[in-house]
């Protein structure tokens, strides 16, 4: 057997990740465009599944899709002090267009709070116009210095929800509602357990009052911020003069939220489930859920096997699961098995002359590698079960990994020694739960060894209040500290 083309996780996790993306045919670097990638059909199909799952939930919670311009007047970014400061270093700016230098440069959107703020001001006059619940699917550009496919690229795809409300309470409800939507998709569709929490003030979105996030743990123990939901307070309302008349006739600024997830989710998906053989996709996000590989030698065998294959595919199709028959002439069955394995297809069905003779079929699961031989009459019923089982097994395994790599620490030295040697390549990462005050001083202390507060969990699963390991002041719960992407 040929050597695996994929670097083993234990050898170099970062190289493994890249190999999985490449061999899974998900994406490739855009070579001629710095820091960008080409998302290939196999990768984009996963994005389309995630889009559909998310979009359905957005619609179900009352949101409507819109589209705002890619180009934003530069002055808009400057209207919110923290916002401009946060984004200035990573902006791409258009200064020449139509062969002429522009009077006012356009920024290529790094996010759309500002331009949407401008239109909110036009559209909102009364409390009757609220809440305004919008979402847009878009591409954005942030000039990143270091890129990794899906995890951080200069251009990426995302959705950004933008809402305006008449009270802070209602806005906050929205922020947490959408955080729940993200957690739901992450856990129930992507089989990726997450911790919901609040970002420290040092880590929050530039311009937000508060930022909430879902944090996932990758197989190397590093944290991946997988979705964010911001309470913007009245910051953008003030900056863009988005005022409304209340029921009582007073004028007030709207309370806004924004929330987003991106193609980064795909990176998280890959680093949650894939193995040394390549991509592993949970059934619910797999564009192709099952592939049937026919095996035959002679023409008469071929005819019989393919006939049975099509009959079985039709039976299974009636259960709502499409079976792709890999009837390519060139590659041997073995080559086909490796091909689909690397691409993460959840179930591979093997059907050869022996099976045809015995009315059997072989079913193999991508995650466990387990093969089962079953009567053809049972396969249509069995496939949905196997897919469901794989979905829940993947989630359970990821959950278990999260659990077993989460540790408590009661001093800053302890935190440091746990995380000291952790890198994206070597792995060994942990989520360290420690009492820590939400104070930039504490964030700075962690930064000395390249760790960050990932979030202050919404639900405290540990021992409640304690003393901050940096300042000694009382805090009400442990926070998640980790190295991250």
Partner RNA sequence: CGGGGCGUGGCUCAGCCUGGCUAGAGCGCCUGGUUCGGGACCAGGAGGUCGGAGGUUCGAAUCCUCUCGCCCCGACCA
Q: Which of residues 437-476 bind RNA (CB under 7 A)?
A: 447, 450
Judged by CB under 7 A, the residue of 114, 159, 166, 263 near RNA is: 263
Judged by CB under 7 A, the residue of 300, 425, 463, 476 near RNA is: 425
Burial environment of residue 58 by CB neighbours within 10 A (0 to 12, 13 to 18, 19 or more):
buried
- The residue (of 86 and 457) whose beta carbon lies closer to RNA is 86
Reported residue count of the chain is 485
Subset of 186-225 contacting RNA (CB under 7 A): 205, 225
- The residue (of 38 and 408) whose beta carbon lies closer to RNA is 38
User: Which of the stretches 130-138, 291-299, 398-406, 427-435 binds RNA when contact is defined by CB under 7 A?
Assistant: 291-299
CA distances from 369 to 335, 372, 390, 398 (A): 16, 10, 11, 17
Minimum distance from CB of 250 to RNA (Å)?
A: 34
**Contact between 132 and 163 (Cβ < 8 Å):** yes
Q: Give the C-alpha separation, 15 to 478, whole Å.
A: 33
Subset of 312-331 contacting RNA (CB under 7 A): 329-331
**Contact between 272 and 321 (Cβ < 8 Å):** no
- The residue (of 5 and 62) whose beta carbon lies closer to RNA is 5
Bridge partner list, 195: 215
Judged by CB under 7 A, the residue of 100, 101, 122, 146 near RNA is: 146
Subset of 328-347 contacting RNA (CB under 7 A): 329-335, 337-339, 341-342
Would strands 251-253 and 243-245 be described as parallel, antiparallel, or unpaired?
Answer: antiparallel
SS3 (DSSP) at 15: helix
SS3 (DSSP) at 157: strand
Q: Count Cβ atoms below 10 Å from residue 170 Cβ, excluding itself.
A: 16
Closest C-alpha to 288, from 337, 325, 263: 325
Bridge partner list, 478: 435
**Contact between 319 and 380 (Cβ < 8 Å):** yes
User: Which of the stretches 29-37, 392-400, 411-419, 430-438 binds RNA when contact is defined by CB under 7 A?
Assistant: 29-37
352-371 footprint of RNA as x/- string (CB under 7 A) = xxxxx-----x-x----x-x
- The residue (of 191 and 213) whose beta carbon lies closer to RNA is 213
- The residue (of 373 and 408) whose beta carbon lies closer to RNA is 373
User: Which of the stretches 92-100, 138-146, 385-393, 428-436 binds RNA when contact is defined by CB under 7 A?
Assistant: 138-146
- With CB under 7 A as the rule, give the number of residues binding RNA: 72
Judged by CB under 7 A, the residue of 234, 304, 416, 423 near RNA is: 423
Minimum distance from CB of 363 to RNA (Å)?
A: 10
Judged by CB under 7 A, the residue of 26, 84, 132, 149 near RNA is: 149
**Contact between 7 and 19 (Cβ < 8 Å):** yes
Minimum distance from CB of 271 to RNA (Å)?
A: 13
Bridge partner list, 228: 213, 260
Subset of 38-67 contacting RNA (CB under 7 A): none
């Amino acid at each position: 057997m040929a050597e695996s083309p994929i670097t083993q996780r234990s050898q170099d996790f970062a190289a493994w990740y890249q190999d999985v993306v490449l061999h899974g045919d998900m994406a490739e670097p855009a070579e001629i465009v710095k820091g960008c990638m080409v998302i290939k059909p196999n990768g984009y199909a996963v994005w389309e599944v995630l889009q559909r799952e998310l979009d359905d939930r957005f619609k179900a919670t009352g949101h409507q899709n819109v589209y705002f311009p890619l180009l934003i007047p530069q002055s808009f970014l400057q209207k919110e002090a923290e916002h401009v400061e946060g984004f200035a270093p990573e902006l791409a700016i258009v200064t020449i267009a139509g062969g002429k230098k522009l009077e006012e440069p356009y920024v290529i959107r790094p996010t759309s709070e500002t331009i949407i703020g401008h239109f909110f001001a036009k559209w909102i006059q009364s409390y009757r116009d609220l809440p305004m619940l919008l979402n847009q699917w878009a591409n954005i550009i942030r000039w990143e210095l270091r890129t990794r496919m899906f995890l951080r690229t200069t251009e990426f795809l995302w959705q950004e929800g933008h809402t305006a409300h008449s009270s802070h309470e209602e806005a906050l409800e929205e922020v947490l509602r959408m955080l729940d939507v993200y957690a739901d998709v992450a856990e129930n569709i992507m089989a990726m357990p997450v911790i919901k929490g609040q970002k420290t003030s040092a880590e929050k979105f530039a311009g937000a009052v508060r930022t909430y996030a879902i944090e996932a743990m990758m197989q190397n123990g590093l944290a991946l911020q997988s979705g964010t939901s911001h309470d913007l307070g009245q910051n953008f309302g003030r900056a863009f003069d988005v005022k409304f008349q209340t029921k009582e006739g007073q004028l007030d600024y709207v309370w806004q939220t924004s929330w987003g997830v991106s193609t980064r989710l795909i990176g998280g998906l890959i680093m949650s489930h894939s193995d040394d053989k390549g991509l592993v996709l949970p059934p619910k996000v797999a564009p192709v859920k099952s592939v049937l590989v026919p095996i035959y030698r002679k023409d008469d065998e071929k005819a019989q096997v393919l006939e049975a294959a099509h009959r079985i595919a039709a039976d299974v199709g009636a259960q709502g699961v499409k079976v792709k028959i890999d009837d390519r002439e060139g590659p041997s069955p073995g080559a086909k098995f490796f091909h689909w394995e690397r691409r993460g297809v959840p179930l591979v069905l093997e059907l050869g002359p022996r099976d045809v003779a015995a009315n059997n079929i072989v079913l193999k699961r991508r995650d466990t590698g387990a093969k089962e031989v079953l009567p053809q009459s049972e396969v249509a019923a069995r496939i949905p079960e196997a897919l469901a089982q794989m979905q829940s097994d993947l989630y359970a395994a990821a959950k278990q990994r999260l659990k077993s790599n989460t540790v408590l620490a009661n001093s800053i030295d302890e935190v440091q020694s746990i995380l000291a040697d952790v890198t994206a390549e070597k792995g060994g990462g942990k989520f360290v739960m420690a009492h820590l005050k939400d104070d930039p001083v504490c964030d700075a202390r962690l930064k000395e060894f390249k760790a960050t507060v990932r979030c202050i969990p919404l639900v405290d699963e540990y021992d409640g209040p304690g003393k901050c390991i940096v300042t000694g002041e009382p805090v009400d719960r442990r926070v998640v500290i980790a190295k991250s992407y």
